[in-house]
Amino acid sequence: MRTTTAPSAGFRLTPQRAEILRLLEGNTSHPSAEEIYRRVHRKFPGMSFATVYNTLQSLLGRGELLEIRIDPKRSRFDPFTPQHAHLMCVKCGAIADVRTPAELKPLGKPAGFKVLSCNVEFYGVCPACAGKTATKEAAKWQKRTQKRTRK
Amino acid sequence: MRTTTAPSAGFRLTPQRAEILRLLEGNTSHPSAEEIYRRVHRKFPGMSFATVYNTLQSLLGRGELLEIRIDPKRSRFDPFTPQHAHLMCVKCGAIADVRTPAELKPLGKPAGFKVLSCNVEFYGVCPACAGKTATKEAAKWQKRTQKRTRK
DNA sequence: TCTCTTGACAATAATCATTATAAACTGATA
DNA sequence: TATCAGTTTATAATGATTATTGTCAAGAGA
């Protein structure tokens, strides 16, 4: 996910897809398929769920999108594709991007097992959900998480 | 999961449950609910799927079992409860226990976000699935993974 | 232009893991 | 014996995702 201009080559940029791409562009809220559907559906009321899943599949296949499964309930999607970890609030489901100290290697790995990739997921409670106290941090966090742009 | 003798206190050790516990005891294969059902069902043909899920829920609630979601298709269960990471073969679905160098802390975490837990998952290809070459390691790995006991 | 091919679309239907519901059962205890 | 919590089976429901089908539009040749 870097561009809204046609990726071409077997990928036809239809109006529906353009809208999905626009929604995803720089989006840090890690939306689920359902959230994407809801938002795009407002502009294209005729659009079906299948179109969302198809488009997401296309993007995943082209490496322009990450599917993250930190949320036990459903897949969430992240247009920010460089390797990074995630942190999810177990109360409201908000997900933030985080990093890990260094590249991880498994210890005690069986000989001959070739490691291809690694997922790191943190769970916790975001400021907004930690009682009604930390109101200032909470607001900042919510804005950063529930909203769109990542510069 | 440390014992087959009654955990008591709101946990009734019925024959079905005893059988599930016996199957889980020291099991390193990280079985899914369906696998547990299949195996236990051989001994108790009348047993329903709900009983498996109920029992697993009980054990999870008592902290005697871990639910791991490294497998995108279904939950897998691990009676080895101390903190550790997992490594899954993307081809055959086998899962091994591994460790990570040190305790992880997220970098770039939003202020005020309290971290509660962490999951680390590795994906790769096990020796048995990496071509038909590494036969010796493969056999060892398969025995270690597909079979039961952890001493 | 005409036709062919290739995605894409909407509309369903199908799958599949998991959860929920309801009713019957069991054993311990009052 | 009556009660009661916890368990069980049977069954239905949920909910995310995938598959299927028929239609359509755009570009590539002929």
CATH of B15-146, one of 2.40.50.1040, 1.10.10.10, 2.60.40.10, 1.10.260.30: 1.10.10.10
Residues of A in contact with B106 (CB under 8 A): 85, 87, 98-100, 122
The 10s digit of each residue's pLDDT in A109-133 is 999 999 999 999 999 999 999 875 5
Residue-wise pLDDT tens digits, B2-28: 333 334 567 899 999 999 999 999 999
Q: Which residues 25-84 on B are within 7 A of strand C at the CB atom?
A: 32-34, 49-50, 53, 57, 73-75
Q: What is the pLDDT of residue B131?
A: 75
Q: Given the DSSP bridges, would you call strands A95-98 and B66-68 parallel, antiparallel or unpaired?
A: unpaired
Nucleotide nearest to A73 (CA to C1'): D16
Instruction: Band the pLDDT of A7: cuts 50, 70, 90.
Output: very low
Cα dist from B107 to A49, A144, B101, B120, whole Å: 36, 16, 16, 15
CATH number of A84-146: 3.30.1490
Domain boundaries, chain B: 15-146
Percentage, residues of chain A above pLDDT 90: 72
Better-scored residue on pLDDT, A48 or A140:
A48
Nearest to B20 by CA among B68, B53, B62: B53
pLDDT at A50 > cutoff 70: yes
| Residue B101: predicted pLDDT | 84
Report, as ranges of residue numbers, the positions in chain B whose pLDDT lies below 50: 1-7, 144-151
Round to whole Å and give the CA distance between B56 and B36. 10
pLDDT at A145 over 50: no
Number of H helices, E strands in chain B: 4, 5
Per-residue model confidence (pLDDT) at position B55? 97
pLDDT at residue B76, rounded to an integer: 98
Min mean pLDDT across A37-51, A135-149, B85-99 is at A135-149
Interface of B with A in 88-107 (CB under 8 A): 89-90, 96-101, 104-107
Question: How confident is the model at residue B103, as a pLDDT?
Answer: 82
Angstrom distance (rounded) from CA B44 to CA B99: 36
What is the pLDDT at residue B48?
96
pLDDT of residue A1: 34
Nearest to B98 among A69, A70, A107 (CB): A107
pLDDT at B137: 54
Q: Which amino acid is at B21?
A: L
8 Å CB contact of B85 and A69: no
Number of H helices, E strands in chain A: 4, 5
**Residue bearing the bigger pLDDT, B137 or A27:** A27
At residue B94, the pLDDT reads: 96
Chain A residues within 8 A of B70 when measuring between CB atoms? 119
DSSP B83: S
> Does the pLDDT value for residue A53 go beyond 90?
yes
Look over chain A and give the mean of its residue pLDDT values, rounded to a whole number: 85
Is pLDDT above 70 for A96?
A: yes
Tell me what pLDDT residue A103 has: 81
Q: Is the pLDDT of residue A65 over 80?
A: yes
CA pseudo-torsion sign B97, B101, B103, B106? negative
Considering only CB atoms, A122 lies closest to which of B70, B106, B140, namely B106
The pLDDT-based confidence of A101 (bands split at 50, 70, 90) is confident
Q: How far is CA A99 from CA A56, A120, B49, in A?
A: 24, 9, 40
pLDDT at site A110 = 95
